[in-house]
Amino acid sequence: MEEHLKSKTQLKKEADDVQTLGVEIAQLPKQKITSLSLPDDAKEAIIFYQNIKKIVLKEDKLNILEKY
Give CA–CA dist 28/21, Å, rounded.
11
How many Å is the maximal CA-CA distance in the chain?
67
Q: What is the pLDDT along the chain (68 residues), one digit of tens a residue?
A: 556 789 999 999 998 898 888 889 989 999 999 999 989 988 988 888 888 878 887 777 777 766 66
Judge whether 55 and 35 are in contact, CB under 8 Å: no
Give CA–CA dist 7/20, Å, rounded.
20
Look at residue 68 in the predicted model and tell me its pLDDT: 61
Q: Which amino acid is at 65?
A: L
pTM, full prediction: 0.63
Look at residue 65 in the predicted model and tell me its pLDDT: 67
